[in-house]
C-alpha cells in the first residue's frame, strides 16, 4: 500500500515540540521538512512522486500519474496561490496534489473518491494522509462502530456516512473538495463549479458531449502510455526464494513461472472481458501511437487478459458469448491475448483467510482472490474498466430530473425498455405508469422529507421492495428515492438500525441545499464505487503492478457529467457512447453483441462461490465480531448464508458487505505493529485494542 502523510503544526505554542518532530512514518521518504513536513510512504515509483518548486516558499508535490509538465505544475501552483484550486485538478491522470505556499497547505482530493484525503486533529495541529489507518495509529483512535453500522445500513447515502471513517476522529475530505491548512487549522473547500438549484446546468449538444468524453478518455490512456516502463522487481513476490526465475521447468513457460512466483509481465496490459468498458480501454491503448508493450521496444503488442470461469454453470450462454466477443476483439494485431482459466479455487468467497488488511472494509474483499488470479497474468501497468457504469449510465433517479425539466417525452424509451427487460408480458402495460408515478413522486419530494422517509423505513424494518430477485423494474423503483436502506440493512439489529436512523433524521433536520435528485444519487453511487475500487486495489494487489482506472480520472468524470440526461437515459446509452468514442479514434469493426451486460454471469458466480465456501462462511459467523459490536445476530446471518446458497432470492450484495466487514475486523485484530516509529511514536494500537474489546 502506498500513501502520503504530513501535518500542519501551530505556529506558536507548546504543541510544536519534540513530540511532533520525533514521530516518523515507517519506511518513509521525506519530501520536505519542518514545520509542516511531508512524506511519501510505500513502494512509490520514481516517476510517481514529483516535487516542483517555484520559489523557496512555494512548491507542489504530485503523487500518482499526472500528465502535466513541470512548467504546467508551476503555472497551476501560482494559480492556486491566488485561490484557483481547480487548476490543481485539471490535468489528465489520477493523482493527489499537495501545494505549499508559505505556511498554507492545500491537499486536493479527486471528483470520484478513488484518491481520498483523510485528516485528524493531532498535537495542536492537523495531520493528513491518503490512508485512514496511519492517522488512526497516530492518534490511537478507537473503532467507530456507528460508522460501521451506517456503512452496512446505507452504504451509498452520504447523509448516513457523513465525512467519517471506521476510526473515531479520522475524517474524510468529500470528493470534489480540498483540505486547506494554515498554521494547524484546517478547512474544507470545494473546487467544483456550482450551478443554480432552480434550473439544471447548461447542457452540451450530444455530439459535442460525446466528443469531450472521447478526448478525455484518449488523453487518460495516452498519459499512462507516455509514462516510463517498469519491469517487475527481480526479487519477485512472496513464496519464491530470492524471487529469481528458476529457469526451464517442464510444462511451464516464462509467463507461467512468472505468475507462479507472483510477478506481472513488464509493459502495459488491459482487462478484456468482452464488455464495452474494458474493451474500449484495450483497443484505445493498442491503437494509440507508441509502444504499449515491453521494455526496449520488444513485444509492442498490448497484453489483453480475459478471465474464463470454468466453475460456474449458471449463465453459461452469456459467459460463452462474452468470451467469444473478447476473442474477436483480440484479433487486433497489436493485442496479445491471454485467457486465464480457473475453477472452484477462483470463485467468490474462496480463500478468504489469505488476504491483506485494507484501509477500510469493502464488498470487493470477497472477490479479491478471484481477481488477483487474473491480475497475476497481467502487466506491470494494467488497465481496468472500473467506474464506467457509474460515470456513463443513467441512475434511475435521473428520470425525476427529466420531469423537473418538463421533458416527459424522454421517459418513454427508458420505461418501455424496463418493461421489456423483465419479460413480464402480463404486467408490461402497467410498468411504464408505475415507473412514471415513482419518478414524479421523487421529483415532488423535498430532500429533507425523502431522508426522513428513509429513517422511518429503517426503524420500521421496511425492506419489502428491495430488489432481491434481479428484477430491473424492482431495482429501478427502489432507486427512485432520495435515500434508501442498503441490501445488508435487513440483517442488522434493531439497535444498529436505530442509530443509523438518528443519523438520517439529523441530516433531514439540517436539510442543506442540495442538487437535483438524479445528480445527487448518481454522485453518491460513484463515490461508493470509487471507495470500493480503492479497497479492491489494496485487497488484490500484486507486487510491482499498478492498476489504472481511467473512467475514475477527474477529466473523464467531468466529461461524462457533461452528457445530457436525455442521452443518458436511453437504453444502451453506455455502449453507444463508447462505440462513438472508438469510432472517433478510428476503431469501427466491433463484434456482434458488443456492449452487452454481464450481470447474469456475476450472480451465478456469486451463488456458486457461496455454495462452495459455505462451511467456511458459517464458521466465520460462529462467533462474529459484528455480533459482539451489536450490529448483527450471528444466528440470523448464518441462516441467510445457507438460504442464499440454496438459491433463495436474497440480496447477494448485502451478504458480501456483511462478510467483508467481519473479515476486515478479524484482519485488523490480527494486525501487529504500527505505521509510526520514533521516541514519541504511539506505543499502543488503540484501533486493534477496540476490536479486542469487542471479542471479549
The per-residue pLDDT for 559 is 96
Q: Rounded to two decimals, what is the model's pTM? A: 0.92
Q: Regarding beta strands 379-383 and 546-548, do their DSSP bridges make them parallel or antiparallel, or are they unpaired?
A: parallel
- Cα 369 from chain centre: 17
- Residues of the chain short of pLDDT 50, as ranges, are 13-17, 197-198, 236-242, 294-299, 424-426, 467-469
What is the maximal distance between C-alpha atoms in the chain?
A: 75
Pair 63, 47: CB distance under 8 Å: no
Q: How many angstroms separate the Cα of 104 from the Cα of each of 11, 120, 133? A: 11, 17, 25
Helix or strand run (H / E) with residue 265? strand 265-271
Pair 134, 5: CB distance under 8 Å: yes
Pair 577, 551: CB distance under 8 Å: no
The per-residue pLDDT for 354 is 80
Query: What is d(CA 385, CA 393) in angstroms, rounded to the nearest whole number?
Result: 14
The per-residue pLDDT for 289 is 66
State pLDDT tens for residues 135-168.
999 999 999 999 999 999 999 999 999 999 999 9
The per-residue pLDDT for 20 is 53
The per-residue pLDDT for 7 is 95
Pair 264, 379: CB distance under 8 Å: yes
Amino acid at each position: 500500500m502506498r500513501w502520503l502523510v504530513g501535518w500542519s503544526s501551530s505556529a506558536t505554542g507548546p504543541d510544536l515540540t519534540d513530540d511532533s518532530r520525533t514521530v516518523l512514518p515507517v519506511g518513509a521518504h521525506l519530501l520536505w521538512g519542518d514545520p509542516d513536513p511531508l512524506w511519501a510512504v510505500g513502494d512509490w515509483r520514481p516517476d510517481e512522486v514529483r516535487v516542483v518548486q517555484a520559489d523557496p516558499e512555494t512548491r507542489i508535490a504530485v503523487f500518482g500519474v499526472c500528465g502535466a509538465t513541470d512548467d504546467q505544475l508551476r503555472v497551476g501552483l501560482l494559480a492556486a496561490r491566488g485561490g484557483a484550486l481547480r487548476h490543481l485538478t485539471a490535468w489528465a491522470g489520477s493523482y493527489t496534489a499537495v501545494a505549499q505556499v508559505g505556511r498554507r497547505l492545500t491537499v486536493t482530493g479527486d471528483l470520484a473518491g478513488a484518491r481520498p484525503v483523510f485528516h485528524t486533529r493531532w498535537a495542536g495541529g492537523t495531520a493528513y494522509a491518503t490512508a485512514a489507518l496511519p492517522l488512526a495509529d497516530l492518534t490511537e483512535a478507537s473503532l467507530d462502530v456507528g460508522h460501521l453500522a451506517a456503512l452496512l445500513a446505507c452504504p451509498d447515502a452520504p447523509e448516513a456516512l457523513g465525512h467519517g471513517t471506521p476510526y473515531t476522529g479520522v475524517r474524510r475530505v468529500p470528493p470534489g473538495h480540498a483540505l486547506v491548512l494554515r498554521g494547524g487549522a484546517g478547512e474544507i473547500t470545494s473546487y467544483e463549479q456550482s450551478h443554480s438549484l432552480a434550473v439544471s446546468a447548461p447542457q452540451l449538444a450530444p455530439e459535442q458531449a460525446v466528443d469531450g468524453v472521447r478526448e478525455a478518455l484518449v488523453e487518460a490512456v495516452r498519459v499512462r502510455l507516455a509514462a516510463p516502463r517498469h519491469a517487475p522487481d527481480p526479487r519477485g513476490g512472496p513464496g519464491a526464494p530470492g524471487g529469481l526465475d528458476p529457469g526451464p521447468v517442464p510444462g511451464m513457460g516464462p509467463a507461467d513461472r512468472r505468475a507462479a512466483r507472483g510477478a506481472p509481465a513488464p509493459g502495459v496490459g488491459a482487462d478484456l472481458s468482452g464488455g464495452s468498458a474494458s474493451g474500449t480501454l484495450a483497443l484505445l491503448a493498442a491503437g494509440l501511437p507508441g509502444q504499449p508493450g515491453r521494455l526496449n521496444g520488444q513485444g509492442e503488442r498490448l497484453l489483453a487478459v480475459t478471465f474464463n470461469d470454468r466453475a460456474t454453470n449458471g449463465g453459461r450462454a452469456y459467459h460463452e458469448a462474452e468470451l467469444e466477443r473478447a476473442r474477436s476483439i483480440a484479433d487486433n494485431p497489436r493485442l496479445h491475448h491471454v485467457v486465464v482459466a480457473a475453477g472452484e479455487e477462483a470463485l467468490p468467497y474462496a480463500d478468504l483467510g489469505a488476504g491483506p488488511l485494507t484501509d477500510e472494509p469493502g464488498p470487493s474483499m470477497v472477490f479479491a482472490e478471484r481477481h488477483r488470479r487474473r491480475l497475476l497474468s497481467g502487466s506491470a501497468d494494467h488497465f481496468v474498466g472500473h467506474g464506467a457504469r457509474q460515470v456513463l449510465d443513467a441512475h434511475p433517479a435521473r428520470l425525476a430530473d427529466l420531469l423537473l425539466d418538463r421533458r416527459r417525452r424522454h421517459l418513454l424509451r427508458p420505461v418501455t425498455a424496463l418493461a421489456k427487460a423483465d419479460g413480464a408480458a402480463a404486467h408490461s402495460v402497467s410498468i411504464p405508469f408505475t415507473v412514471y408515478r415513482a419518478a414524479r413522486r421523487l421529483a415532488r419530494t423535498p430532500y429533507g422529507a425523502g431522508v426522513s422517509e428513509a429513517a422511518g423505513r429503517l426503524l420500521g424494518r421496511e425492506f419489502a421492495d428491495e430488489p432481491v430477485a434481479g428484477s430491473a423494474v424492482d431495482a429501478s423503483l427502489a432507486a427512485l428515492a432520495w435515500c434508501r436502506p442498503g441490501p445488508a440493512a435487513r440483517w442488522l439489529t434493531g439497535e444498529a438500525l436505530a442509530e443509523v436512523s438518528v443519523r438520517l433524521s439529523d441530516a433531514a433536520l439540517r436539510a442543506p441545499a442540495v442538487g437535483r435528485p438524479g445528480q445527487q444519487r448518481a454522485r453518491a453511487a460513484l463515490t461508493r464505487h470509487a471507495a470500493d475500487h480503492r479497497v479492491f486495489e489494496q485487497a488484490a494487489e500484486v507486487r510491482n503492478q499498478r492498476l489504472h482506472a481511467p473512467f475514475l480520472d477527474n477529466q473523464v468524470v467531468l466529461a461524462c457529467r457533461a452528457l445530457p440526461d436525455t442521452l443518458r437515459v436511453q437504453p444502451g446509452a453506455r455502449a453507444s457512447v463508447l462505440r462513438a468514442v472508438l469510432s472517433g479514434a478510428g476503431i469501427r469493426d466491433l463484434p456482434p453483441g458488443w456492449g452487452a451486460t454481464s450481470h447474469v454471469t456475476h450472480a451465478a458466480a456469486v451463488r456458486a462461490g457461496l455454495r462452495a465456501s459455505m462451511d467456511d462462511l458459517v464458521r466465520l459467523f460462529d462467533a462474529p465480531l459484528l455480533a459482539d459490536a451489536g450490529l448483527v445476530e450471528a444466528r440470523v446471518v448464518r441462516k441467510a448464508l445457507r438460504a442464499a446458497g440454496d438459491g433463495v432470492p436474497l440480496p447477494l450484495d448485502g451478504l458480501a458487505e456483511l462478510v467483508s466487514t467481519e473479515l476486515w475486523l478479524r484482519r485488523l485484530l490480527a494486525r501487529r505493529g504500527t505505521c509510526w516509529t520514533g521516541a514519541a511514536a504511539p506505543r499502543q494500537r488503540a484501533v486493534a485494542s477496540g476490536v479486542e474489546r469487542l471479542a471479549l
